[in-house]
Structure 1
Amino acid sequence: MNAIDQQLSLYRRARLRTAELLFTTNKDDQLSRFVDIGLIVLITLNILAVVLESVKSVHQNAGEFFYAFEVFSVTVFSLEYIARVWSVIDNPWQPDLTHPISGRIKYMFTWMALIDLLAIAPFYLSFFAADDLRVLRALRLLRIFKLTRYSSAMTLLFQVFREESRTIGAAMFVSMLLVFVASTLAFVVENEAQPDKFSSIPAAMYWAVITMTTVGFGDIVPITPWGKVLGAFIGIVGLAMVALPAGILASGFDNALHRRRTMLQERVQDAMKDGVISPQEEQELEKLIRHLNLNTVDANAIIYAVKHQQAQEKNDCCPHCGKPLHQPPDPNVST
């Protein structure tokens, strides 16, 4: 092997190792756990820094420290973003991103990659912004969404949102139509009685949204008989419309968990074809369990059920010829 081949081999091993550290979760890999914990701690400290920096006295006394910590954090997050884009083509859980160019471009437009980019964008935009940087400082709170990468519950939530986006969008569309209708009717029946509060349809939308969501601040209330009837009707209908997306999400959660359990069950059945799970197959199952974010209780229950089912099927067959011991009676033979 010449020097160029050695360099290419070292380059590929480094890229593969980077993908293992950033995209996979291996409890036995101490370095991978250290990287994950380090990033989680850094993200948490950044959130606390943004909150504390909003206090004027704290910002005046420790402004230089906050700026130095911001520079350090942005440097780490920038290197992380570059490393993820560089090594994503070796991510085993995203086989559709293996192309060195299109794969990286597709990854850059994924939800998590956009979050990583938004986490560092405010710092670089501050060099081109005006003197008032409060908006950019507040945008740094977007770094809290980086924690979703390390939360199985949030990962599942985003997956359900993507899968049920059309259904949820339809429900939100109907809700918006109801808001428009309610605000229009409220403007018609309440404008003469309360021209200051129901001065226009956009102004009445605030009352419609507050009523539909059953918040009811009480700052704007109908006083005419027809306005009160409309408010009662909108409140009752709003209960159903607000609960509809919650039911869709609950159903989506159940379907997503069912698919993950079914995927693990099929993989266990494939591993048990020879009657035993080898150490290599056991490691692969553990990786799949971590990737699917299934808890240990559910995973062990699925593995036990598959083993028990195959043991029953084996006991129902003759150990010599393999034929079933309990054959159904032949309908053509008279008893």
Structure 2
Amino acid sequence: MKPTFRSRVQILLHGVDHKSRLSLTVHLVLASAIIINVVSVIFESVKQFTDHYFIIFALIEGVCTLIFTVEYGLRVWSSPDNPDFVGPWARLRYMLTPMALVDLISILPFFLWMFTAIDLRFVRIVRLLRLLKFTRYSTGLELMLRVFRQQAGIFGAASAALACMLVFSAGAIYIAEHQAQPDKFGNLLDALYWCVITLATVGYGDVVPITPFGKVVASVISLTGIGIVAVPAGILASAFNSELRRRENEYRHQATRQLLGKRLTERVRHKLKSHQEELGISDEQAQSIVEDIRDVHRNESDEILTCPHCHNPLHLELKDAETDPKTQKS
């Protein structure tokens, strides 16, 4: 069945196809618009630049908003052809996804500024959220978001433990210091602020305990803060390592299917390169995995590629990496 125009638009916007010049051009324009617009917002916050280059900033904002509006409209229009949103209310279900909401929020500030009397400082800050759109074009950012989603439960448990620690610490330091320093520890909110700064190991030094019991509590809180900060960092590092291992194993599986008993033709190289880019595997990692596969299966491959009559090596020309070769010649 010939793909419709809507399905082609959906495929074009869904991800970068490195074999298509049109796909590369479209995503390069979108990524460039995001970067240019965010840089423009940052410089626009400087009054001297705003006074001299107001027209340029307005032009950049207008062009980028037009690009993002067209992109958002096409994504919503083509969403019924996305396998994840087939069925009734496909467009509405797509519009409620996190990235679709980011796309919508990225274009709203311009129309709010045009048709309402909203505070422009708020509009500038909201426009910076357009940087989140860049996660579509960065494998590293996509990997980070995936890791956070996978470890959401563990991070939730760690956050709950941190919240309990903050409340208990605030109560302890309040009891120890509120009489000696009523201006600095006069209520639990002030004590809670001090505990957050101390547990985060920042310690501005603007508020310090002066009673003996308060100093003991502060010492315990400071030492506990080192461990509290280390726990999420360790979880995150472990999760990143696990996800990278999973991607390497997936690439190894794909490479084994392509290479086992077959020559490394240009067609196979292209397929492996495509898998590598999809998984975010570096060239060094991919090369190491391919060499490892060829070393491990070299003896087995030699037996497969040896003529049983003359014992000379067989040369296989791969026509399709997914099918067996039709011809062999010795």
Query: In the alignment, which of 62, 77, 98 is matched to residue 71 of structure 1?
Result: 62
**Equivalent residue for 1:32?**
23
Q: CA deviation at 1:55?
A: 2.0
Query: In the alignment, which of 48, 65, 68 is matched to residue 57 of structure 1?
Result: 48
**Equivalent residue for 1:202?**
189
- 2:292 maps to 1:305: yes
Q: CA deviation at 1:297?
A: 1.4
Query: In the alignment, which of 79, 96, 118 is matched to residue 84 of structure 2?
Result: 96
Hey, what's the Cα distance between the residues in 1 that align with 2:51 and 2:305? 83
Question: Structure 1 pair 289/107, CA: closer, same or farther in 2 (3 Å)?
Answer: farther
Does the residue aligned with 2:169 lie in a helix, a strand or coil? helix
Question: Structure 1 pair 78/318, CA: closer, same or farther in 2 (3 Å)?
Answer: closer
Q: Is the 8 A contact 2:200 2:225 kept in 1?
A: yes
Q: Is the 8 A contact 2:174 2:187 kept in 1?
A: yes
- The residue identity in structure 1 corresponding to 2:174 is F
Which residues of 2 match residues 1-335 of structure 1 at below 5 A? 12-88=3-79, 90=81, 95-97=83-85, 99=86, 101-127=88-114, 129-276=116-263, 280-315=267-302, 320=308
Question: Structure 1 pair 280/39, CA: closer, same or farther in 2 (3 Å)?
Answer: same
Q: Is the 8 A contact 1:89 1:100 kept in 2?
A: yes
Give unmatched runs, 5+ long, in structure 1.
Answer: 1-7, 322-335
After superposition, the C-alpha distances for 1:5-43 in whole angstroms (9 at most, x for unaligned) are xxx95xx44334323432332334222222222222211
Question: Structure 1 pair 72/316, CA: closer, same or farther in 2 (3 Å)?
Answer: closer
- The residue identity in structure 2 corresponding to 1:148 is T
Question: Structure 1 pair 302/159, CA: closer, same or farther in 2 (3 Å)?
Answer: same
Q: CA deviation at 1:206?
A: 0.8
Hey, what's the Cα distance between the residues in 1 that align with 2:301 and 2:264? 16
Q: Quick one: percent identity of the two aligned structures?
A: 35
Hey, what's the Cα distance between the residues in 2 that align with 1:105 and 1:262? 36
Q: CA deviation at 1:132?
A: 2.4
**Larger deviation, residues 300-309 vs 245-254:** 300-309
Question: Structure 1 pair 318/115, CA: closer, same or farther in 2 (3 Å)?
Answer: closer
Does the residue aligned with 2:194 lie in a helix, a strand or coil? helix
Residue-pair matches, total = 308
Hey, what's the Cα distance between the residues in 1 that align with 2:24 and 2:133? 16
Question: Structure 1 pair 16/296, CA: closer, same or farther in 2 (3 Å)?
Answer: farther
**Equivalent residue for 1:325?**
none
Give unmatched runs, 5+ long, in structure 2.
Answer: 310-330
Q: Is the 8 A contact 1:25 1:290 kept in 2?
A: no
Question: Structure 1 pair 293/85, CA: closer, same or farther in 2 (3 Å)?
Answer: farther
- The residue identity in structure 1 corresponding to 2:84 is D
Hey, what's the Cα distance between the residues in 1 that align with 2:264 and 2:90? 34
Q: Is the 8 A contact 2:17 2:24 kept in 1?
A: yes
Question: Structure 1 pair 132/25, CA: closer, same or farther in 2 (3 Å)?
Answer: closer
**Larger deviation, residues 197-206 vs 51-60:** 51-60
Q: Is the 8 A contact 1:222 1:231 kept in 2?
A: yes
TM (norm. structure 2) is 0.84
After superposition, the C-alpha distances for 1:60-81 in whole angstroms (9 at most, x for unaligned) are 3433432333222111101111
